[in-house]
């Protein structure tokens, strides 16, 4: 790079700019940090309002969407500008990410064309904004796989972008355009077009991408599998089903030429006489509909069939399952005498009627490809094609799928010879109207014991029922049972892992603008936050019904079937209106939260897919920046460090950056080298006062000497050289940088270090606690035990944790001020209590013993 090149001057400018930012006084940086939080909050409030307005309960027009996004963009621009200042511009890629997302939103609002430019997309790579590119069937399957985590065979979509390329490459545009101009096109002309497509060539770029996709698919299947090649038109399986209008080819050999022939047959079926007639009957512009194609690994099915998540006879409280041996196409085409199961819906699905079909023949995969019909073996003819357990599991999966799509579902499934259930398709079921559908309002509810009434804030309306599962710490998320009601002290964005399976969420704390609240609106999970004491009122394992249809919400003891049944049949009517769906589509670029855990590798600008992701990223990295600046030295701009008078030898210096200490005389005019003292009573910093109060709690601080064992003495002697070497260049002090609502406290006691960074305000959305602990004088085994003990205690308080050896990092956020103060008080006690505890942790059983004592308020070390 030469000195005359633009890149050289940009590099120099960036370095100068970063040096300038690093020279800013800490108070100025802290004010910028507060500015990021404030503008982030404004943006989140706008997102919350958009989520509520576009949730189906309000009438609105495109002007509201444009105005709301304009305000959101303005708030985000302020956030990004201040974030750049705070972080010295180190995350410049965020501008490019925001520009891309903003373009997607603008294109959606103003109906401009939008495409990813992908010819092939695997199901795990299909995002919500690619629905028109991959077609309705592929989009539904990707949702099932990526969001609901149900078992879907591996596969990929050949997109509408590839379809356009295929049509252009073979000069078919004129012939297809003519379809829309002729009121009636003869069957002979359609046959000619069909033949042209079958004999057309695959464009070189598409040919290459298909070969690569097949190679990847085969590798994922263990080297070889047969294929199911299926249509997935733009509007297929959407508001109009297109059921049976296009071709499906089963058991296609995985050779590239075989798949490409199958691909062309599916594309050609878009222009069959019956498909054209169907499109005309629903008012589609002939020749404008595009065809995406799905390619899935073929399931060698032991049994297959169809689930209607609502009984087409009109009873919405039951579902219907048809099942046969072998492949399920005979069920779809109505050619089989299938087994029939009528299942009552609810928390515990129950078979209420069973009819065993003849099943005299079955469809199976043919060795040379395709399928064939054979006589059912005698050993299978008289047997039911499903076990009771399989019926129940299929019913449970159908309930979750119906709940996610908010509509009755027509679901195709298969069970392989190992007993694995696969979902092959889910589309909206056009079921008959039930009697209750014609009755306005909620159904009558039998008298039940009301456990909670009108408590908290409803952040997502709805009804849910199930057994209570109380989450005390993040480790318990992996044990959450499907269909349960999640109850927790704090809300958490980590609950996103459970949202496809949770019936409802209730928390003691929380706000409508939290990350979790946004996720509940996205997943349509009934949720009540800020109840105050739900974890005390509700019992783990207790069956309850949550009625969160309005602010006067209720939680009932037991399962109220009337409410549960109504919830399944109740879905916003506005969702069937195209204009409504188009406007709500904008939210898909705004509300979803993909960045959950700041400790993982994809927590980076390139991992941001929505506006919410950008806000989350800036919030976390702003906190990290403040901690880093406080830890590695800050420009205090001539401020006095006051020594805190304490009855314990903690040696804490307090630097007030605004509202941290009560003013006293003319101390602020004295020179910085002087160590003026202040009493605890003069602390006005909310978080610092709470921590110090905890450290001074009776019995928590132990001054007595605890004898070290021989191994510990040797360890401390070998580590002494590091401490002495470091002390020659740096004088150790425990330093608290404090404002009215903030503290960064760096403390060293002997051989271990504590860092506490906390923002504690009236706005729960801003509040956070970051705590880091490392080191000790004993051997690594005892130091690691102390870290495990600290982790056990902090888990009980709701912290998210990361540990390695004698290092621990803990985070907690989104709490009300009074609860924050209580946690900080207990954290102060913990800091005092654990100072010398490592020497006493002689075996693993002592970890649980001392942790239990501490949580019970017993701080005795004996």
Q: Residue 738 forms beta bridges with which residues?
A: 656, 743
Q: How confident is the model at residue 1, as a pLDDT?
A: 44
Q: Which residue numbers in the chain have pLDDT < 70?
A: 1-23, 54-62, 111-115, 128-129, 180-186, 235-244, 274, 278-287, 313-314, 333-336, 430-447, 513, 515, 522, 565-585, 601, 631-640, 664-675, 705-733
The token pair that represents 273 in the structure block: 């006489």
Cα 713 to Cα 142: distance, rounded to the nearest angstrom: 59
Going 216 to 219 to 223 to 226, the CA torsion angle's sign is negative
Q: In 3-state terms, what secondary structure has residue 705?
A: coil
Give the Cα separation of 715 and 705 in Å (integer): 18
Which two tokens mark 586? 């904008």
Count the Cβ atoms, other than its own, within 10 Å of residue 255: 12
Distance, CA of 43 to CA of 350 (rounded, Å): 46
Other beta carbons within 10 Å of 727: 10
Please state the three-class secondary structure of 194-235 as a single string: HHHHHCCCCCHHHHHHHHHHHHHHHHHCCCCCCEEEEEEECC
CA–CA separation, 161 and 170 (whole Å): 14
Is residue 636 within 8 A of residue 656, CB to CB? The reply is no
pTM above 0.85, yes or no: no
Rounded Cα distance between 535 and 468, Å, is 10
CA dihedral 556, 558, 563, 564 (to 10 degrees): 130
What pLDDT score does 594 carry? 80
Domains of the chain, with CATH numbers? 120-297 (3.30.1490.20), 301-432 (3.30.470.20), 449-559 (3.50.30.10), 641-855 (no CATH)
CB 262 within 8 A of CB 243: no
Smallest CA-to-CA distance from 855 within 769, 795, 802 is with 795
- DSSP per-residue codes, 116-154: ---SEEEGGG--GGGHHHHHHHHHHHHHHHHTS------
CB 486 within 8 A of CB 466: no
Residue 202 has what pLDDT?
A: 94
The number of angstroms, rounded, from the C-alpha of 248 to the middle of its chain's C-alpha atoms is 34
**How far, CA to CA in Å, does 490 sit from each of 42, 474, 515, 688?**
22, 11, 12, 22
> With the C-alpha atoms ordered 549, 555, 560, 561, is the resulting torsion angle positive or negative?
positive
Dist CA 45 CA 24 (whole Å)? 31
For a pLDDT cut of 90, what percent of the chain falls above it? 36
The pLDDT tens digits for 128-180 are 668 888 988 898 899 888 888 899 999 999 999 999 999 999 998 887 877 76
Positive or negative torsion for Cα 618, 620, 621, 625: positive
Which two three-digit tokens encode residue 478?
A: 């992996």
Selection from 230, 247, 79, 244 nearest residue 153 by Cα:
230
CA separation for the pair 811, 800 (Å, rounded): 5
Rounded-to-integer distance, Cα 725 and Cα 714, Å: 18
How confident is the model at residue 281, as a pLDDT?
60
CA distance 135 to 161: 11
């Amino acid at each position: 790079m030469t000195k005359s090149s633009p890149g050289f001057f940009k590099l120099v400018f960036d370095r100068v700019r970063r040096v300038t930012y690093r020279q800013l006084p800490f108070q100025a940086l802290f004010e910028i940090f507060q500015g990021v939080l404030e503008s982030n909050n404004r943006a989140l409030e706008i997102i919350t309002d958009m989520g509520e307005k576009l949730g189906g309960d309000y009438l609105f027009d495109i002007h509201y969407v444009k105005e709301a996004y304009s305000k959101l963009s303005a708030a985000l621009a302020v956030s990004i500008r201040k974030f750049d200042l705070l972080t010295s511009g180190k995350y410049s890629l965020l501008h490019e990410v925001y520009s891309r997302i903003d373009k997607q939103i603008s294109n959606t609002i103003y109906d401009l064309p939008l495409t990813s430019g992908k010819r092939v997309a695997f199901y795990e790579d299909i995002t919500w904004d690619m629905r028109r590119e991959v077609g309705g069937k592929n989009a539904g399957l990707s949702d099932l796989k990526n969001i609901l985590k149900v078992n879907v065979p591996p596969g990929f979509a050949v997109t509408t972008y590839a379809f356009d390329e295929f049509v252009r490459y073979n000069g078919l545009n004129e012939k297809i355009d003519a379809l829309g101009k002729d009121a009636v096109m003869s069957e002979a002309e359609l046959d000619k077009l069909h033949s042209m497509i079958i004999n057309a060539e695959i464009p070189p770029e598409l040919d290459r991408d298909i070969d690569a996709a097949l190679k990847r698919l085969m590798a994922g299947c263990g080297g070889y599998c047969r294929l199911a090649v299926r249509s997935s038109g733009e509007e297929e399986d959407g508001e109009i089903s297109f059921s049976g209008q296009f071709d499906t080819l089963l058991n296609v050999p995985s050779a590239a030429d075989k798949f490409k022939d199958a691909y062309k047959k599916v594309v050609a079926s878009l222009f069959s006489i019956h498909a054209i007639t169907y499109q005309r009957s629903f008012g589609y512009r002939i020749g404008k509909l595009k065809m995406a194609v799905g390619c899935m690994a073929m399931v060698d099915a032991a049994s297959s069939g169809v689930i209607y998540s609502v009984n087409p006879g009109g009873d919405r409280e039951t579902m219907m399952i048809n099942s046969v041996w072998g492949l399920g196409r005979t069920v779809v085409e109505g050619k089989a005498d299938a087994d029939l199961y009528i299942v009552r819906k609810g928390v515990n699905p129950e078979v209420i009627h069973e009819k065993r079909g003849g099943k005299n023949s079955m469809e199976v995969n043919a060795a040379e490809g395709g399928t064939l019909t054979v006589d059912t073996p005698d050993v299978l003819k008289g047997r039911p094609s499903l076990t009771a357990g399989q019926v129940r599991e299929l019913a449970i999966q159908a309930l979750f799928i119906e709940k996610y799509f908010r509509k009755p579902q027509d679901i195709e499934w298969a069970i392989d010879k190992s007993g694995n259930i696969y979902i092959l398709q889910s589309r909206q079921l056009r079921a008959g109207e039930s009697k209750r559908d014609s009755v306005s309002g909620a159904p009558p509810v039998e008298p039940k014991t009301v456990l909670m009434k009108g408590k908290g804030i409803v952040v997502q309306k709805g009804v849910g029922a199930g057994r209570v599962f109380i989450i005390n710490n993040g480790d318990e998320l992996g044990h959450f049972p499907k269909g349960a009601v999640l109850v927790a002290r704090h809300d958490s964005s980590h609950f996103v892992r459970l949202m496809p399976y949770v019936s409802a969420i209730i928390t003691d704390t929380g706000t409508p603008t939290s990350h979790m609240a946004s996720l509940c609106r996205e997943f349509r999970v009934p949720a009540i936050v800020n109840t105050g004491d739900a974890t005390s009122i509700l019992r783990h394992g207790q069956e309850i019904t949550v009625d969160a249809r309005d602010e006067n919400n209720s939680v009932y003891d037991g399962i109220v079937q009337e409410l549960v049944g109504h919830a399944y049949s109740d879905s916003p009517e506005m969702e069937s209106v195209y204009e409504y769906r188009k406007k709500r589509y904008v939210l898909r670029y705004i509300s979803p939260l993909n960045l959950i855990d700041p400790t993982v590798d994809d927590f980076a600008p390139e991992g941001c897919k929505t506006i919410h992701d950008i806000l989350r990223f800036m919030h976390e990295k702003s906190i990290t920046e403040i901690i880093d600046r406080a830890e590695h030295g800050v420009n205090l701009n001539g401020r006095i460090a006051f020594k805190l008078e304490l009855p314990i030898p903690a040696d804490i210096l307090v630097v007030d950056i605004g509202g941290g200490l009560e003013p006293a005389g003319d101390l602020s005019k004295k020179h910085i080298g002087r160590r003026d003292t202040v009493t605890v009573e003069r602390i006005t910093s909310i978080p610092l006062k709470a921590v110090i109060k905890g450290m001074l709690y009776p019995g928590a601080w132990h001054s007595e000497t605890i004898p070290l064992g021989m191994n510990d003495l040797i360890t401390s002697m070998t580590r002494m050289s590091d401490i002495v070497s470091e002390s020659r260049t740096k004088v150790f002090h425990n330093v608290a940088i404090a404002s009215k609502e903030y503290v960064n406290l760096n403390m060293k006691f002997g051989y271990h270090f504590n860092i506490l960074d906390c923002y504690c305000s009236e706005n729960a959305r801003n509040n956070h606690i970051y705590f880091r602990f490392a080191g000790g004088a004993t051997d690594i085994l005892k130091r690691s035990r102390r870290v495990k003990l600290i982790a056990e205690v902090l888990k009980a308080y709701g912290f998210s944790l990361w540990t390695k050896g004698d290092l621990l990092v803990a985070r907690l956020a989104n709490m009300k001020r009074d609860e924050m103060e209580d946690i900080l008080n207990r954290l102060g006690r913990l800091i005092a209590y654990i100072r010398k505890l490592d020497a006493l942790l002689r075996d693993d059983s002592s970890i649980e013993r001392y942790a239990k004592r501490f949580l019970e308020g017993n701080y005795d070390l004996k």
